[in-house]
Structure formats: structure tokens, C-alpha cells
A and B are shown apart, each in its own frame.
Chain A
Amino acid sequence: MQHSTIAAIATAPGQGGIAVVRLSGPESYLVAERVFTPANPKKTVAGAKGYTALFGRFCQAGECFDEGVALFFRAPHSYTGEDVVELSCHGGDAVARRLVEACIQAGAAPAGPGEYTRRALLNGKLSLTQAEAVMDLISAGGRQGAALANAALSGALARKIEARRQALTALQAHLTAWVDFPEEDVPALEQDHLKEELTAAAEELDGLIAGYGAGAVLREGVDCAIVGRPNAGKSTLLNLLAGFDRAIVTPVAGTTRDVVEQSVQLGEIRLNLFDTAGLRQTEDPIEAEGIRRSWRKLEEAGLILAVFDGAEDLSDEDRELARRCAGRPALALINKEDKPPRLDPAEIAPCFQKVISVSCKEESSRPLIEQGVSELLGTNRVDPHAASLSGQRQLAAAVRARDALREALSAIEMGFGLDAISVCMDDALAALCDLTGENASEAVINEVFERFCVGK
């Protein structure tokens, strides 16, 4: 059976030790190969047998963001009866979501409601009773999904998409009238106007796609790692943010040995906080493991709060930390503002997107941190009433529309005929209509007859 390869998070939403992203379809192994690199260089995804597992790293666009295990199933011996790869990454919505995004970039399609089960049934993996139960579920889920999609679309996004869809429909109708009624005096479409409209639509979609990240942070929160060398004040910061003594805070270096998880609301954003073991060289194997985990948290976090002791000189460990924060969504907090300053912020500033001085013991530092985080994540620029995409389905449709528009623009650049351009526009319109739920082809044809005086 020749059809698409789908990807979705298979585990329940929310915090858990691990999350599983499941790929199913003929290209599962191909997609997995693009997002998963086995730790053992002798092993390959393509060569993996069914019912085996590999340990390795998950990557997106060449950047590795987590490590975990891939479980392989070969058709027909899998849940769906197709080639299946299950990717187990670390728990937390953000990581799993990023992994799904990576899979979609690598060629998978987001799974529709009940699609795994549907495939399982079609491939004879479920009994009739099971199938009927599933149908009820899909029916409920489909309704709910439709209601949710409508709700999501009822506001600003719907207006924005609808305006673009109408503009494109008008262009397409013009092209159609011009092509299908060559003898009528339908004016040729100005190429500059066409390019302008296509570019404007593509740029608006770019904005929506870029805003998806910040919007997702607002809706779903962000995984936040608190890092810093021992006794810099990480746990004090956690307590400041959480509002009660969550972590053990003692002046003895190395008391926090494990990643401590805590969800706190910082302004509009939910931070899933991970306090981490102080980063230093240690002989203690338990502490060493804690430190290893701290570094990993830093790699995969959506936000890093790096705490430095402002009353001490910059240590080698601090420099190492700063180096690791470079290019990451990291905020440097120079703690112990109340003590005489010895650390020079200018030395670490190039590695961070933002540096602020705080005193983690003081409640008054909280709004400063809140503002810094909001600026760093771009959530201060998100107007909650402005248009934003929600969910993988909408994101995928927007990306599809944007890519088709870019393809149309490149066809114009290369001097292709308007027939090729209009086919790309068809695709873009179909993707936008997926968002608004209207049939693209009918919309274009109706518009032709409303706007152009054509016919014998």
C-alpha cells in the first residue's frame, strides 16, 4: 500500500518521564533516519530489524536537541501493520513537540484524528468490536476537533487567512478567466501585481509560522533549565519563582544533586522549571550523574536561566557555562546584587541574549526576571488577540501554503508560463482552504463568473 507517512505524539500530554513520537507508513525509516542518529556509528536506522531498539540522538536541521531510544517495527508486525518507528524522547511537551516538528520537516505528515487506529484496522490488525469502539471515539473526537478548529479559527487568524484566501482566489479567478476565455477582453494580470500579492501572502504566512513558536510558549509553556555553578543561587531562584521552599537551599556546595521539576507561572508564561545540580568537577559519582543531567537539560531547554555569583570573580566553570549558552535561548542572571560586585558582566554578555542583575533573595527581582524572559521568548510581542496558528495541523497547512506560494514566485522568476504558476496557486489555496474549510476549486470558479463578463 502506497501512502503517506504520519507522525504524532503517542503518549498522553503533560509531564512524564518519557514521551513517544510514533511514525507509521512506508517512509517511516527514511524519516527516522533524518531525525535520529544512532550513538553506535556502526548501526544504521535503515539496517534496523523489527523488534529492535537503538540508542542515539534526536536532531533537527543538524542540531541535536535530545537523546533517547528508537524502537523499530517492520510491516506487517506493528500496531498499524505498516513500517513503524517509535521515538522515545525525554518527557515534557516541548521536546516531543519539537521532535514531531523535526519529523514533519523530514517528510512526515501530521496524523489525523484516529489515523493510527484506522490504518491498523485497514491492515487487519484490529477486531470488529475494537473497530466499532474506535469509530465512536473518532466520531466524538472529530466533532470536538472540528469544534476546536472552528473556535481557533473564529478570531483574528480566521480573518487574516480569509483575507489572504480571498485575495488569492481573486487572482486565481482572474488568471482562470484570462485563460479560459481568451477571446473576451479580460485584461492580462499585471505580473508586478501578481508578484506583490503572492509575496505579501507568503510573508504574512512567514510571520504566522514564526509566531507559532511564541504562541505555543504562551499556550503550552516552556521547559526552563536553571543552571550555574554551585551556590550561585539557583535554588534560591527556584524558590523565588515557585514562592515556597521547593529545593533544598544550604550554603554547602553541591546539595542539589538531581533535576528538580516544578511548574510556575511567570507572568503570562508557564515555566516548567528544572533546577539542576551545580556545575563543577566532582569525584562523587552521584553528583557527577546530576551534573551530566544538568548539561543535557541545558541542551534541550526552551529557556535557560544561567545564574552567576556577582560577588565572585568569573570562574572557569562560569566561562564553560557561558560558552555552552551561546546561541541558545539563554538569560544570564548576575545574582547577589546586594553584595559588592566583582564579576564583570561584559565578559559573558556576548554569549547571552540578555544579561540582568538580580538578587534572588528579594521578591522585587521577580518582575525583572519576568520582563527579561518575556522579551527573550518574544511573548511580549505576541498580541493574544492577534492571529496565531494553533496546533500542528494549522502549522502544517500554513507551511504548505507558504511553500506553494514561494514555488509560484520562483516559477515567475524562472519565466515559466502562468499555467505552472496557477497550479502552485491551486496548492496554496487548497492549503488555506484546509484552514478555513472551503473547497478551493469551486471558490475560484464562482468568482470567475461573479467578477468577469465572459462567455459567448
Chain B
Amino acid sequence: MIQLGEYDVIVIGAGHAGIEAAHAAAVLGAKTAVFTMSLDAVGNMPCNPSIGGTAKGTLVREVDALGGLMGLAADATYLQSRMLNRGKGPAVHALRVQTDRKRYHMYMKHALERTPGLAIHQAEITDILVEQGRVAGVVTQLHGVYKAKCVVIATGTNLGGKIFVGDAWYASGPDGMHASTALTESLKAAGLPLRRFKTGTPARVHRRSIDFDKLERQPGDPDDQLQPFSFMTDAPMHNRVECWVAYTNPETHKIILDNIHRSPLYGGMIEGVGPRYCPSIEDKVVRFAGKDRHPLFVEPCGEDTEEMYLQGASSSLPEDVQNAFYHSIRGFEHLEIMRPAYAIEYDCVDPTSLEPTLESKIVRGLYGAGQFNGTSGYEEAAAQGLLAGLNAARNALGLSQLVLPRQSSYLGTLVDDLVTKGVMDPYRMMTSRSEYRLTLRQDNADQRLTPIGREYGLVGEDRWEKYQHTQALLEAERRRLQESHLKTEPLREAMVAAGLTPAQQGGVAAELLRRPEISYPLVAGIIGWGEGITPLLAERLETEIKYAGYIARQDRMIHEVARQEKTLIPADFDYQGLTGLTLEAREKLAQIRPRNLGQAGRVPGVSPSDIAQLSIALAAARAQQAKKEESPRD
């Protein structure tokens, strides 16, 4: 074997996690290389051609606020944009776009190519080199050796990938990529606790075979309401395509149930655990027998293709059954399947073996991101990729690591859940996973994270300047709203014009905005729009004011949690000596090795009384340590 190169950071995989990891590491100044099995699959979307959605949209904004690429790529390649959950409260507004998947791939490939200090190699990695518990490099299938100080694994479903359709199965990654099986053995030999997860995807079908007259239209938002993902995007936006909704019916369900024994999911061939939130159509029909229809969303895969994606219809049934049940759906009578639906099983790591920096506790210098860590979704992958790449680079450069606390972001919540609680099935971000969701909104991701991105070296001059400018605009507008007084008559007139019951009397703008029915545009109609205040910023100001009471309440919680997180637990702390704790608590704590008291309290099976004792033992250990330091000649 011949050594072909030496890097600070090597990233294995150039999917959504690998892209952000490679980009972040290179931007930080680490000498970085990204390896992909095919350069034509960089940033591929093997499942739905869309970015964002509930909670996921917030993750995209967080990636952007930290200086990542996903938001910019989505803004450059979207086909249709919608803000979901309007009317359900600002904390759960969620941006989702349909994306041109080929253009997205090209954008990302080009973005990596233009990143200074980033080498791009097409090669399959078959081995990781480990020396004395620390990663030392990788080996390609061509027996080339590349040394590295740190390695990020972002292998997606390619690692040990196995595709199932009916009783047929074959080793494969998505979209014709071959499965990476040698690497699995190497990771197992290094001692990583691997497991099998499963996911699935629906059929891609030909546009001309769909009778759109029989489907419901699902247009995007009006052009003048569109918002970009990136805080850096200013260009006007325009929706180019429409989506449609079809529905299954009792006949569809009968065909599926009659053939359920032919599904590998039900035949026991698949051992991997599937995601609960992303059930296959056969799962939906079996588990929710009472429902007489399930919606299917018909989404274009791009502007230069006739392929359409059928969201909601993932399946592993044999092709003849797929044909039969799709054809039973109104509007799909003559459906032509181009790529059949399939289930895919893959290898991933138990994330409780990771630090909250995403570094492995078992092989130092080795980081994981995305599906490898037990998550699902492009957005979850990108967010972890950014954190893993940033920390790998900082590790290689001898800089401190970044841990994002749970209360800082959805990204922090996601990582804390992974490494503290572990996962039973592929983990998807949901708003309900964050107890701080009123504070962790998509509109204020920059305020929460851009200063951190700046401090840790990812946020460049242009983004930092724009951020500071935005903060200044917001601050000025907050002041103006505090100082502006609305007279009774104009306010009442404006409210009547807006179809509202007029208020008794006028008042200070900021006070009036606390009422749910009074919006910023209504107030601005009287006192004028604030300077530089975009609709997005207006919404942010309005939310801050209306939800001030609830936000203050969450801030108090955050403060209390942050206090507990200041009590650090040494990495080599011995839990076996704590005989007052239950055996389960001791074992769990020894396995998870929480970094601080706050995290320890979130470990499943650890009670408040365990925490009380742990905190005392920690204080005792500190006291002992202090004594030792006082008399060093002991």
C-alpha cells in the first residue's frame, strides 16, 4: 500500500452531512479531503426532492446561521416554496421547498470545488487506520493510503446497504450506488458498536402517465410572500411548479393486505429498525386499518425531467403489487413507474458511543454525522455534518471543541438527544422534541447562532457584517415601537378596515402589538414601516412582543438548565464507587459518560435523587483534588 496524501481532516461521503463537514473543515483552515464513491452523486437526494419542513426548516436556517451551505443551495435550486403551519403560531412556522434535485447536486458539487483548501477524491474507502485508539487515516479500494488527524464518517445508507423489493434483494446503496461493505468490517474491528436501521422510498413515475384533472392541486405560496432559507439571500423569489395530492382508497388497501405476506418487512427478511414517522404504505394500511384513505403527494423531481416523486407511498412490495395498488388510485390508472419503490437497510453506529462534539468515545479523532449516527433526513444530516466537520478541524488544529447546548438550537437538541438518550429507530427532528421551541424559532436562528459561528471560525466577513446590520435594524425598530404612540381614531379605522373589532383606544405601538389580533403591518400602516424592516424581520419583532411572557418563562428554564450544565463531570469519573445509586443508573452513566450534571439528569433511568448524590460526589472529588494541589509533595 502506498501513501498518497496526508490531511488534517478526511470526510467519508459527500451527501448532505459530508458536504457540510468538508466545507466547514476547509473554511476553518484545516487541510481537508472529501471522498465520495461517485462525484455524480454529491448532494444526491435519494428520497424526496425537497428541503425543509417542520423543525427541519429550522435546522436549515441554523446551518445557514452558522455559515453552512444547505440554505444557500436550497435558495438557488428551489422549484416551489411554502411556509407550512401558518396560523398555528410563529414557533412552528416551517419553510419547505421542492427542489430540483439535479441542480441541487450540481450546485453542491460546484460549491465544494470552489472551496479553497478542499481536495475532492472519487474513491470508496474500505478501511480506517487506527493507531493506539486514535484514527490515523483511511485506505481506498485501490489500496491508496491517506493519512489524517481526524476522519468524519458520513456514509448514509451506503454503509452495508441492502435493497429489498418483494422477495428480491441485493447489496446496494441508493440510485445505483454500490454498497460499501468492507468499511463496515473495518469499523467493527475498531470496536464501534454498529447496528442495522432501515428506511424506504416510494416510486418515481412518469409525468405523462398521471391524470392531473383527477388530483387536488397544491400550489406554493404567492410570490410576494416567499421567504428564502438563507439569511444571506436577497434575490426576489418565484414559484415555478405545482404539486398535487392523490388519495388511496379501500381497493388500494385490499390489494396491499392481500399481498402483505410478499413484503419483506412482514416476511421477516429485514432485520433493520425502520423509522416510526416514515411508515411504508403497507405499515400505514396495517396499523391504521380504520382509515379509509391516505394522502399521496405528487412532486416534480426537477425542471429538466418528467420524473415525479410520490411522497407517502414508500413500499417494499414486489413490482407487480406496486403496479396494482398504484393503478387502483384515482388519477394513477395508467401510471408508469420509472423507479420502483424499495426498502433499504444499512449500518449505523449507536450514537450513545459519541461525545456531544460527535467524536467517537472509542476511536478518538473519528467523528460521525447523519444516518451513520442514527438519524434520518437531509436536514438532520447537514446540521450534524457541519458540527462534526467543525469539531474535526478544530481537533486537528489543536483548538477547543464546540458543544451546542440543548437550549441553544434544534441542532443542540438533536445532538443531546442522540448522545444522551440514544435512538431506537431513525431519529427525525420534531418541534415537540424541543422544550424550548418558543425560543428556538426559525426566524431568529441568526441571533442564536451566528455569533457562535463567528467565534468558532465558520462565519466570514460578509455574513458577520450583514448580521450586525440586521441586529442594528431590529434594535432601532424595537426602540421606535416603544416610542411610537398610535392615536385612537386612525387605529380604530385601520382595524375596521382589516375586518377586526376596533380597540377602545390607541396607545404605544409595542403595547398594542401584544394583542393577538394586531399585526405589525397594521401598525406599520399607521406609523410607517421601520427602516429596513422586511416582512421576515417584522414577523420576528411581532413574535418577540406577542410571546414575551412565554419567552421569558422559557428563558428562566434555560437559565436554570445552564446552571446545572456548569457543573462539569471529569471524563474518567468512576461511577462504580457511588453505591447509593441504582445499578442501572451507574451503568447508564458509565456508558453515556455525561459531560455535566445537566446532561446526566437527562440520561434515561437516572433519578433526581441519583443526581443529588452525584453532585455531592463531584463536589467531594473537587475538594480532594484541591487538597492534593495544595500539598503537591505528598
Interface hits, A134-184 → B, CB 8 Å: 134-136, 138-139, 142-143, 145-146, 172, 176, 178-184
Q: Are A138 and B613 in contact (CB under 8 A)?
A: yes
Q: Are B432 and A455 in contact (CB under 8 A)?
A: no
Q: Are A179 and B623 in contact (CB under 8 A)?
A: no
Q: Are B607 and A146 in contact (CB under 8 A)?
A: yes
Q: Which residues on B sit within 8 Å (CB–CB) of A183?
A: 84, 295, 297, 311
Contacts A135-B580, A135-B617, A439-B604 given: A176-B432 contact, CB under 8 Å? yes
Instruction: Output the nearest chain A residue to B85 by Cβ-Cβ distance.
Output: A182
Q: Are A180 and B55 in contact (CB under 8 A)?
A: yes
Contacts A142-B609, A417-B90, A419-B88 given: A179-B314 contact, CB under 8 Å? no
Size of A's binding interface in residues, CB under 8 A = 55
Cβ proximity bits B285-311 to A, threshold 8 Å, 1 near / 0 not: 001100100110100000000000001
> Of B92, B607, B609, which is within 8 A of A419 by CB?
B92
Q: Are A180 and B547 in contact (CB under 8 A)?
A: no
Instruction: Output the nearest chain B residue to A136 by Cβ-Cβ distance.
Output: B580
Interface hits, B168-219 → A, CB 8 Å: 202
Specify which of A112, A172, A422, A426 lies most central, judged by the most chain B CB atoms within 10 Å of its CB: A422
Instruction: Output the nearest chain B residue to A143 by Cβ-Cβ distance.
Output: B609
Interface hits, B400-449 → A, CB 8 Å: 430-433, 435, 437-438
State which of B9-17, B275-283, B483-491 sits at the interface with chain A: B275-283
Give A269 to B529 CA distance when docked, in angstroms.
69
Q: Which residues on A sit within 8 Å (CB–CB) of B85?
A: 179, 182
Give A62 to B312 CA distance when docked, in angstroms.
61
Q: Which residues on B sit within 8 Å (CB–CB) of A176?
A: 430-432
State which of A68-76, A217-225, A441-449 sits at the interface with chain B: A441-449
Instruction: Output the nearest chain A residue to B297 by Cβ-Cβ distance.
Output: A183
Q: Does residue B266 face the partner (Cβ distance < 8 Å to A)?
A: no
Q: Does residue A415 face the partner (Cβ distance < 8 Å to B)?
A: yes
Q: Which residues on B sit within 8 Å (CB–CB) of A122?
A: 615-616, 619
Q: Are B580 and A3 in contact (CB under 8 A)?
A: no
Q: Does residue B517 face the partner (Cβ distance < 8 Å to A)?
A: yes
Q: Are B612 and A128 in contact (CB under 8 A)?
A: no
Q: Are B276 and A449 in contact (CB under 8 A)?
A: yes
Specify which of A4, A138, A423, A439 lies most central, judged by the most chain B CB atoms within 10 Å of its CB: A423
Interface hits, A112-145 → B, CB 8 Å: 112-115, 118, 121-122, 124, 128, 131-132, 134-136, 138-139, 142-143, 145
Give A178 to B312 CA distance when docked, in angstroms.
16
Instruction: Output the nearest chain B residue to A430 by Cβ-Cβ distance.
Output: B435
B4 to chain A, nearest CB (A): 41
Interface hits, A410-456 → B, CB 8 Å: 414-420, 422-424, 426, 439, 441, 444-445, 448-449, 453-456
Q: Which residues on A sit within 8 Å (CB–CB) of B128?
A: none
Contacts A124-B623, A418-B88, A423-B550 given: A142-B284 contact, CB under 8 Å? no
Q: Are A453 and B563 in contact (CB under 8 A)?
A: no
Q: Does residue B54 face the partner (Cβ distance < 8 Å to A)?
A: yes
Interface hits, A392-424 → B, CB 8 Å: 414-420, 422-424
Instruction: Output the nearest chain A residue to B425 by Cβ-Cβ distance.
Output: A449
> Of B87, B89, B624, which is within 8 A of A416 by CB?
B89
Give A247 to B279 CA distance when docked, in angstroms.
79
Instruction: Output the nearest chain A residue to B582 by Cβ-Cβ distance.
Output: A143
Cβ proximity bits A88-116 to B, threshold 8 Å, 1 near / 0 not: 00000000000000000000000011110
Q: Are B609 and A453 in contact (CB under 8 A)?
A: no
Interface residues of A, dominant DSSP: helix
Q: Are A138 and B580 in contact (CB under 8 A)?
A: yes
Give A128 to B275 CA distance when docked, in angstroms.
49
Q: Are A131 and B616 in contact (CB under 8 A)?
A: yes
Q: Does residue A191 face the partner (Cβ distance < 8 Å to B)?
A: no
Q: Does residue B48 face the partner (Cβ distance < 8 Å to A)?
A: yes
Q: Does residue B559 face the partner (Cβ distance < 8 Å to A)?
A: yes
Contacts A419-B92, A455-B278 given: A132-B620 contact, CB under 8 Å? yes
Give A176 to B48 CA distance when docked, in angstroms.
22
Contacts A124-B623, A454-B277 given: A179-B615 contact, CB under 8 Å? no
A442 to chain B, nearest CB (A): 8
Q: Are A417 and B91 in contact (CB under 8 A)?
A: yes
Q: Are A453 and B294 in contact (CB under 8 A)?
A: yes
Q: Which residues on B sit within 8 Å (CB–CB) of A415?
A: 516-517
Interface hits, B439-472 → A, CB 8 Å: none
Contacts A3-B560, A423-B550 given: A181-B54 contact, CB under 8 Å? yes
Q: Does residue A281 face the partner (Cβ distance < 8 Å to B)?
A: no
Contacts A3-B560, A113-B612 given: A182-B94 contact, CB under 8 Å? yes
Q: Which residues on A sit within 8 Å (CB–CB) of B517?
A: 415
7 contacts between A and B (CB under 8 A): A138-B609, A419-B92, A445-B433, A448-B432, A449-B277, A455-B277, A456-B278
Residues of A in contact with B (beta carbons under 8 Å apart): 1-4, 112-115, 118, 121-122, 124, 128, 131-132, 134-136, 138-139, 142-143, 145-146, 172, 176, 178-185, 414-420, 422-424, 426, 439, 441, 444-445, 448-449, 453-456
